[in-house]
A = this chain, B = another copy of it.
Amino acid sequence: MVSGKVGFVGLGIMGTPMARNLMRAGYDLLVYNRSARNAARLAEEGAGVVDNLRELAERSSLIITMLPGPPEVEEVTKNLLEGAIEGSLIIDMSTSSPVLARELAQSARERGVGMLDAPVSGGDVGAIEGTLSIMAGGAREDFDRASPLFEVMGGNVVHVGEAGAGQLTKAANQIVVAIVMEATSEALVLAERSGVEPQKLIEALSGGLAANKVMELKREKFLSHEFTPGGKVVYHLKDLGIALETAREYGVSLPVTALVKEMFVSLVAKGRGGWDHSAILTLVEELSGQEG
C-alpha cells in the first residue's frame, strides 16, 4: 500500500475503471479531468476533485496520468511538474512516445521528482477487470514504489528497463497486434472465399503454431463483422506512427509495420477510424473485390 494521496489525471474509457479499482483497493484518490462530468462521477464514489493540475500535484505523493497521446502527456506533465512535491512520483500510463518519455523523466529528475512510463495493454475490459498488462520503464526504486498500485490495476506487470523502455515495449506490442490482425484477416479471407467456414478455420488454427491472442479475443468480431470498439483504428494508427518514428530514429527498418500502418490510414480514409482495429479484415475483403 502506498501512503498519501494518489492523484489521477485522465478519466476516459481506460482511466475511469483504473481509478475506480484503486479506490476500491483503499487508495485515497484525488482526480482531475478536463470533462467535469467524469470527475463528478468518481467524486460520488469518494474521490477528491481539484480543478487544476498544479493543485493536484501539490497534494499528491504519487500521480498517475492516462491521456490520449504525446501532446497531452507533454502538456499535463509540464503542468504537474510546476506543483510536484520533491520526492513524489509521476507514472504516465498513456501510450506515448519513448523519446518524450525520456525527456520528461529527465525534467522530473531535475526537480527531484521520480517518473515512470508505464503504458498498458488489455483494453477497457482489462482496465475494468484489473488485468492489464503493464510495461514499465524507469528506475528500479520507482518501479518498486509503484508496484502496489500496478498490482491493483494489472495482471502481467513487467519492469522492462530504464525511462522510455515502457513506451518502446508498448510500441513493439502495437506492431505485433496490428500485424497479427492483418495475418489473421488474410487467412480468413482466403479461407472464406475458397469455401472453408471461418469458424472452422479459427478452430483448426487455434491448436497449432498459428494460435494467437488476437484470433481468440477478436473471434466474435471477425465472425460477425460487428466492429464496435474495443480498441479504435485511430488510436492504433497513432501508436503505429509512434513506432515507426521511433524506429527511424534508431535506424530500424520495419517493412511490414509500414505497410500495415498504411492499411490503417486507408481504414480512416474510408470512415472507419472509430471502428475496432480488427476491422482491418474489411480492407482485406475489399482488396479482394468484396463490396465494402
Contact = CB atoms under 8 A, between A and B. Distances in A.
Interface of A: 98, 121-123, 126, 132-133, 135, 155-156, 158-162, 164-165, 168-169, 171-173, 175-180, 182-184, 186-191, 193-197, 200-201, 203-215, 217, 243, 246-247, 250-257, 259-260, 263, 284, 287-289
B214 A209 contact: yes
A158 B260 CA distance: 31
A200 B169 contact: yes
Given A156-B204, A158-B203, A213-B211, A169 B183 contact: no
Given A208-B122, A260-B256, A191 B168 contact: yes
Given A172-B188, A176-B205, 18 more contacts: A123-B209, A133-B205, A158-B207, A161-B195, A169-B191, A172-B210, A176-B183, A176-B184, A176-B210, A176-B215, A180-B183, A180-B210, A183-B256, A212-B213, A251-B288, A251-B289, A255-B259, A256-B256
Most buried by B among A162, A169, A188: A169
Number of copies: 2
A194 B98 contact: yes
A284 to B, nearest CB: 8
Contacts of A177: 209-210
Contacts of A158: 200, 203-204, 207
A194 B126 CA distance: 28
Given A171-B190, A193-B251, A206 B156 contact: yes
Contacts of A207: 121, 133, 155-156, 158
A179 B250 contact: no
Contacts of A195: 161-162, 164-165, 168
B179 A209 contact: no
A173 B256 contact: no
A243 B196 CA distance: 14
A172 B196 CA distance: 10
Contacts of A135: 204
Nearest to A165: B196
Contacts of A186: 175, 179, 254-257
B204 A209 contact: no
A190 B247 contact: yes
Nearest to A253: B287
Given A194-B98, A208-B133, A176 B168 contact: no
A172 B187 contact: yes
Contacts of A253: 284, 287-288
28 contacts: A121-B208, A121-B209, A123-B209, A126-B208, A133-B204, A158-B200, A160-B200, A161-B197, A165-B195, A168-B191, A169-B191, A172-B188, A172-B191, A172-B196, A173-B187, A175-B190, A176-B180, A176-B184, A176-B212, A180-B183, A186-B254, A186-B256, A190-B246, A190-B252, A211-B212, A212-B214, A253-B287, A254-B284
